[in-house]
Amino acid sequence: MPLTALKVRHAQAGRHADIHGLYLIVRDTGSRSWMLRMQHKGARRDFGLGPVCDVSLADARIAASDYRKMVRSGLDPVKELGLRRRVLPNFETVARNCYDAMKGGWKDQRHASWLSSLENHVFSSIGKMPIDEIDSSAVLNVLEPVWLTIPDTARRILQRIGTVLDYAHIKGFVPEEISLRSVTRGLPRQARQVTHREAMAYAGVPAFMKKLLALANSAGRDALKLTVLTAVRSNEVRFATWGEFDLERGTWSIPATRMKMKEPHVVPLAPPALALMHRLASERKALDGKLVPESLVFSYAGDKAISDMTMVKVLRDMKIASITVHGFRSTFTDWAAEQTEFPKEIADKALAHMVPNAVEAAYRRTDFFEKRRTLMDQWSAYAMSVV
């Protein structure tokens, strides 16, 4: 429907079409202006026609008609009238700006995969398109080649494109929020398969630990041993610093910034784990003369963490082909459920899992530390039972 003077006066924030490419642009601030969209020599061009306070609806239509006549005559309104062209950045530029704005809040390596997924699958298709030309159809074209072949990545790409478009909206490049909810209606249904990480049966852990300890000392072997004995995530071991350990009290305090759930986690160190840390501390003191609190425990130079494949390589060198490092958390969970009388919430707290029920979480303030210490003592004793 064409605009009316009343609609112009009361239109909400967004882009409102009139006729023949004329648009009313209403900013979140309430400012109102005219924009004409035309094709000129095969390229789309947008021209600002002035604010509503200076240019009425009738005047905007007359001006738009005059500019269209110039284009049909082969003239360029910019050159003929000095008209200011509205230039918008392309999708890739906005995406990289969005990435730069967000990456400072990430504490892990997600920022690397966030941008690389767009570089690998998106920029070649829509990267050069003006940001306000990106719509559901353009996004559909991006997703179709990868939707079934790499479904998890495709879903993340869809979410990340949506984030870029939201960023473009709050920056004023796109007057209206663009919903991508309908995009998946044009795509085949994905077969969702839950793939659990391969875990070792808990009955095999004692023999595994005996074989592990028979290997020569190395950062990978020691990191894997601590991971198994404490049931923490591998990244929490890889980036552990000496300042987090209190060897007198037998505790390891992991700050919230390094935890997946962003909550601090205190790990009770069972005797085998504590003995490992005392040995590593002695070796570091013999090498450096002291323990620097900020220094990484598992590092070849003290300032760069071992890679996430270091512990995996230890498993592969032991001819264990399918088991994952993360899977030992599942091994611990199964052992606690089947071989102990500890309630599930104690094992969950040992794994630093979030309490799923919000009401329950609000009332449960204890971290079960003493019970967790007993649980971890029993787990370590079981794991080391044939060593």
Quick one: 177 and 118 in the same domain?
yes
* Residue burial 268-290, b: 16+ Cβ < 10 Å; e: rest: bbbebbbebbeebeeebeeeeee
Torsion angle in degrees (nearest 10) through CA of 184, 185, 191, 194: 40
Q: Read off the CATH number of the domain in which 162 is found.
A: 1.10.150.130
Quick one: 229 and 336 in the same domain?
yes
C-alpha to C-alpha distance for 128 and 107, rounded to whole angstroms: 30
pLDDT in tens, 176-228: 777 788 888 888 888 765 455 588 999 999 999 999 999 999 999 999 999 99
Q: Are 226 and 281 contacting, i.e. CB atoms less than 8 angstroms apart?
A: no
Alpha helices for the chain (secondary structure H): 5-10, 57-72, 77-81, 91-102, 110-121, 123-126, 136-143, 151-170, 205-213, 219-230, 234-238, 271-288, 310-317, 327-339, 344-350, 358-363, 369-383
Quick one: 230 and 373 in the same domain?
yes
Q: In what helix (H) or strand (E) does residue 248 lie, and over which residues does it extend?
A: none
C-alpha to C-alpha distance for 374 and 378, rounded to whole angstroms: 6
Q: Are 363 and 385 contacting, i.e. CB atoms less than 8 angstroms apart?
A: no
Range of the domain at 301: 202-383
Where does a domain end: 15, 47, 81?
81
Per-block mean pLDDT, blocks of 10 residues, the chain (387 long) = 89 89 86 83 75 87 86 73 65 92 68 83 93 88 91 90 89 78 85 65 95 93 96 94 96 92 92 97 88 90 82 93 90 94 91 62 65 96 90
**Is position 340 within any domain?**
yes
Label residue 7 exposed, middle or buried (CB < 10 Å: 0-12, 13-18, 19+). middle
| pLDDT for residue 359 | 40
| pLDDT for residue 228 | 97
**Considering only CA atoms, which of 364, 369, 340 is closest in space to residue 354?**
364
Quick one: 173 and 299 in the same domain?
no
Quick one: 254 and 351 in the same domain?
yes
Quick one: 208 and 349 in the same domain?
yes
Quick one: 166 and 214 in the same domain?
no
What radius of gyration, in Å, describes the C-alpha atoms of the chain? Answer: 30
Rounded to the nearest angstrom, the gap between the alpha carbon of residue 241 and the centroid of all alpha carbons in its chain is: 24
Quick one: 114 and 43 in the same domain?
no
| pLDDT for residue 354 | 67
**Is position 264 within any domain?**
yes
DSSP structural state of residue 277: H
| pLDDT for residue 107 | 56
Phi, psi at residue 281, to the nearest 5°? -65, -40
Partners of residue 22 on adjacent β-strands? 36
| pLDDT for residue 119 | 92
**Is position 122 within any domain?**
yes
Q: Read off the CATH number of the domain in which 236 is found.
A: 1.10.443
C-alpha to C-alpha distance for 242 and 236, rounded to whole angstroms: 13
Quick one: 133 and 272 in the same domain?
no
**Is position 125 within any domain?**
yes
Q: What is the DSSP string of 122-144?
A: THHHHTTSBGGG--HHHHHHHHT
pLDDT in tens, 355-368: 555 544 444 556 78
**Is position 298 within any domain?**
yes
Q: What angle do CA 291, 296, 300 make, to 5 degrees?
A: 100
Where does a domain end: 62, 81, 100?
81
Q: Are 9 and 16 contacting, i.e. CB atoms less than 8 angstroms apart?
A: no
**Is position 265 within any domain?**
yes
Quick one: 21 and 50 in the same domain?
yes
Q: Read off the CATH number of the domain in which 21 is found.
A: 3.30.160.390
| pLDDT for residue 363 | 40
**Is position 194 within any domain?**
no
What is the number of helices (H) and of strands (E) in the chain? Answer: 17, 7
**Is position 156 within any domain?**
yes
Quick one: 146 and 209 in the same domain?
no
Quick one: 69 and 23 in the same domain?
yes
Where does a domain end: 81, 110, 127?
81
Instruction: Supply the angle between the helices 205-213 and 369-383 in degrees, to the nearest 10.
Output: 70
| pLDDT for residue 360 | 45
Domain count of the chain?
3
